[in-house]
Amino acid sequence: MDSLLIKGGLPLHGEVAISGAKNAVLPILAATLLTSEPCVIRRVPNLSDVRFMGQILTWLGAEVRFDNGSVRVQARKLKGTGEYDLIRKMRGSICIMGPLLARLHKATVSLPGGCVIGARPINLHLKGFEALGARVVIEGGYVHASAKRLVGSPMFLGGRAGSTVLGTANVMMAATLAEGVTIIESAACEPEVVDLAAFLNSMGAKIAGAGSPTITVTGVKMLHGAEHEVIPDRIEAATYAIAAAMTNGEVKLRGARADHMHAVLDKLTDAGATIQRNGTGLTVSRKGRLKPVDITTLPYSGFPTDVQAQMMALMAVTPGISIITERIFESRFMHVSELTRLGADIEIEGPSAIVKGGKPLSGAPVMASDLRASAALVLAGLAARGTTQVNRVYHIDRGYEQIDNKLRQLGARIERIEDS
């Protein structure tokens, strides 16, 4: 397993290109299964999760061709069963279920289990399919959904922590080919849902209200091929923004969309960073002292759970006490013990982490446990004295395109140690 070796203490300076959004491209790739015609998706990040989704589509019978930042998919014929071992490996693959159900009227996928950030149930996805008239049975580790016909219906998809991103995506995709009108209440408002709706509409779907808590889908008979450019990754952009603030640097995030990042930019400003918006992205810098901020993760447009760990790394080097409360996933604090290994002073109290920041961090070997936790460790390593070795970086390669090269371009001393 590869690891990253970081010699910290240098401010980051320069420009970094923000890649296409992982969490937008995964459901968009699944949506290509809704038509037998070819679809071309552009600004596709070269990530292990994305290549993996390509394998799943191929396994289902689609022709998939990756070509220098774009993917062409044509799903002339499909089978309705997702292979157990393939689906199990990546939770995002659950979003093939809606398209398979819409196109074949049946879908069988392995039931995703829990993961390190929490239980991650799919009851709301299934509730939505049932509201469209599907019969859902869980048997032998698989979820089977089938329907003679899918019929549009009003439904409420709110759950314990609010809306569900992939649940909204999944049900929205299934509803595109249902008869009549589907109204999803408590729909997720994330930009990735809006991007998926834009792609589906360019395929001939009739979706209104994406980006608001009420999405209306008027079913159509069939969808056609389309081309689409994926939105920039707001989580990747936020991670580099925090890196700039943490290291006292100045980084231009080329292609970043400030309008997708209000909550993060607002907190970074409160923490002492300067944000300049310009036509082609935004620039984040920090000259003065850092200030502690309290954060609570919430569904969009609240502070994203996917930036919680990185923000905790920033607060660890910020003098004063900040309280970070995680409201989306129940156990998304795996980074705390590893940040502590670098010298951070953090205590967990229920859903909150109390960060007593400002203690100097010093490099150590640490273990990446999930994607965003690994990003937090890389950030901490950039700010720490000495050398930090982040092990198990396959987690970070799932969601950050060429993070080592991008950071090196910004002046960081970071190198990948490949497992021989």
Interacting span for ligand EPU (CB under 6 A) from 156-164, 257-265, 355-363, 385-393: 156-164
Residue 32 interacting with ligand EPU (CB under 6 A): no
Q: Determine how many CB atoms are found less than 10 A away from the CB of residue 137.
A: 10
Interacting span for ligand EPU (CB under 6 A) from 40-48, 68-76, 114-122, 237-245: 114-122
Residue 160 interacting with ligand EPU (CB under 6 A): yes
Residue 167 interacting with ligand EPU (CB under 6 A): yes
* Distance between CA atoms of residues 329 and 334, nearest Å: 11
> How many residues sit close enough to ligand EPU to count as binding (CB under 6 A)?
26
- Helices then strands, each counted (H, E), the chain: 14, 23
Residue 399 interacting with ligand EPU (CB under 6 A): yes
Nearer to ligand EPU among residue 307 and residue 339 (C-beta): 307
Identify which of 183, 304, 174 has the alpha carbon closest to the alpha carbon of residue 241: 304
Contact with ligand EPU (CB under 6 A) among 123, 276, 278, 405: 123
Classify burial at 149, counting beta carbons within 10 Å of its beta carbon; exposed 0-12, middle 13-18, buried 19 or more. exposed
Contact with ligand EPU (CB under 6 A) among 306, 326, 397, 401: 306
Nearer to ligand EPU among residue 119 and residue 417 (C-beta): 119
Residue 164 interacting with ligand EPU (CB under 6 A): yes
Could you give the count of Cα atoms lying within 13 Å of 263 in the half-sphere of its Cβ?
19
Contact with ligand EPU (CB under 6 A) among 43, 103, 125, 234: 125
DSSP 288-323: S------EEB-STTSB-GGGHHHHHHHHHTSSEEEE
Q: Which one-letter amino acid corresponds to residue 5? A: L
115 is catalytic: yes
Contact with ligand EPU (CB under 6 A) among 16, 87, 107, 124: 124
* Distance between CA atoms of residues 25 and 64, nearest Å: 14
Q: Which one-letter amino acid corresponds to residue 391? A: N
Residue 114 interacting with ligand EPU (CB under 6 A): no
Nearer to ligand EPU among residue 125 and residue 228 (C-beta): 125
Interacting span for ligand EPU (CB under 6 A) from 59-67, 119-127, 204-212, 307-315: 119-127
Identify which of 176, 192, 152, 144 has the alpha carbon closest to the alpha carbon of residue 33: 176
Interacting span for ligand EPU (CB under 6 A) from 115-123, 246-254, 355-363, 389-397: 115-123
Identify which of 162, 191, 157 has the alpha carbon closest to the alpha carbon of residue 172: 157
Interacting span for ligand EPU (CB under 6 A) from 54-62, 157-165, 217-225, 252-260: 157-165
Identify which of 134, 177, 136, 131 has the alpha carbon closest to the alpha carbon of residue 154: 131
Residue 328 interacting with ligand EPU (CB under 6 A): yes
Interacting span for ligand EPU (CB under 6 A) from 121-129, 248-256, 342-350, 385-393: 121-129
Q: Determine how many CB atoms are found less than 10 A away from the CB of residue 224.
A: 14
Residue 193 interacting with ligand EPU (CB under 6 A): no
Could you give the count of Cα atoms lying within 13 Å of 334 in the half-sphere of its Cβ?
17
Contact with ligand EPU (CB under 6 A) among 120, 385, 408, 413: 120
Contact with ligand EPU (CB under 6 A) among 4, 62, 317, 371: 371
Is the C-alpha dihedral spanning 50, 53, 55, 58 positive or negative? negative
Helices (H), 71-203: 84-89, 97-104, 123-131, 165-176, 191-202
DSSP 137-164: EEETTEEEEE-SS-B--EEE--BTTB--
* Distance between CA atoms of residues 150 and 175, nearest Å: 8
Nearer to ligand EPU among residue 175 and residue 364 (C-beta): 175
Residue 209 interacting with ligand EPU (CB under 6 A): no
For the window 65-104, what string marks contact with ligand EPU as x by the rule CB under 6 A? Answer: --------------------------xx------------
User: What are the catalytic residues?
Assistant: 115
Binding positions for ligand EPU, rule: CB under 6 A:
23, 26, 91-92, 118-125, 159-161, 164-167, 305-306, 328-329, 371-372, 399
